[in-house]
Amino acid sequence: MKKSLTLIPFLLIGLFSCNNETDEQGPLPSISNYTIEGGEHESHERLSDEGEEPELEMGGEAHIDAEMGGQNLKTVLLDIHWGEGHTHRTMSSETDTAWTAKIQWNFGEEGGLTPAGVFPNNHDFHEHIEIPEMIDGKHVKEGEYHFVLYLWDQDGNETQKALTAHIHGHEEGEEEAK
């Protein structure tokens, strides 16, 4: 009986002791109101985390918007890749190739999203991305593409949000009408 009573304090100490590596790092960064809208060649269809896929046109622009929050935001990365059929590998043939792009923006540096040394807690992100028609002499493959937006803060905390857009070439007769 004495042995079992002596074990109880050790069990309680083990149960309530905490690991020093679990320091609170603050809340995760957040991405809200993430949207993609076609540029001037488009009918201004808008894709959001609540809407449907827009039709983006090769040779046009995609306007990327998002509200970002967190503590001391550091880096934004936009990863664009082929997404049809939920495959995340580049699909290509002799005549076309899938478009992939990784575009990074930084806070707190000269030429970045904010001036050197400024790491905001909130940021209204707005960027224009050109959609290529050709890559290395091949036409860009039409279809669904994922636009994955990543956000990191100074502590290395990360969040991400993904949208899918349908990218197509110029419609015949469309050029003549413009």
pLDDT number for residue 175 = 44
Where residue 87 falls among pLDDT bands split at 50, 70, 90? very low
Residue 54 covered by a domain: yes
Order of all β-strands in the sheet with 158-168: 55-57, 158-168, 143-153, 73-82, 101-106
Q: List, in sequence order, every beta strand (DSSP E) within 2-142.
A: 30-38, 46-48, 55-57, 61-69, 73-82, 96-97, 101-106, 122-130, 134-135, 138-140
For the chain, the average pLDDT equals: 79
Q: Answer yes or no: is 102 within a domain.
A: yes
94 occurs within a structural domain: yes
| pLDDT of 136 | 92
pLDDT tens digits along 91-136: 445 678 999 999 999 999 999 999 999 999 999 999 999 999 999 9
Highest-pLDDT range among 32-41, 89-98, 140-149: 140-149
Tens-digit pLDDT profile for residues 12-30: 445 444 444 434 567 899 9
Residue 32's domain is classified under what CATH number?
Answer: 2.60.40.2550
Does the residue 76 lie in any domain? yes
158 part of a folded domain: yes
pLDDT for res 3? 56
Quick one: tokens of 102? 């990784």
Q: Which of 94, 116, 121, 96 is nearest to 106 (CA)?
A: 116
Residue 129 lies in a domain: yes
Specify the pLDDT at position 85: 57
How high is the pLDDT of residue 28? 94
Q: Which of 142, 145, 144, 106 is nearest to 127 (CA)?
A: 106
Cα-flanking dihedrals φ and ψ of residue 120, to 5°?
-75, 165
pLDDT at position 27: 86
At residue 7, does pLDDT exceed 60?
no
- How many distinct structural domains can be found in the chain? 1
- Give CA 71 to chain center in angstroms: 18
Domain that holds residue 165: 26-177
Position 116: which residue type? A
Q: Where does the pLDDT of residue 171 fall: very low under 50, low under 70, confident under 90, or very high at 90 and above?
A: low
The pLDDT assigned to 69 comes to 97
Residue 11 maps to a domain: no
Whether residue 79 is predicted with pLDDT greater than 70 in this model: the reply is yes
Residue 95 lies in a domain: yes
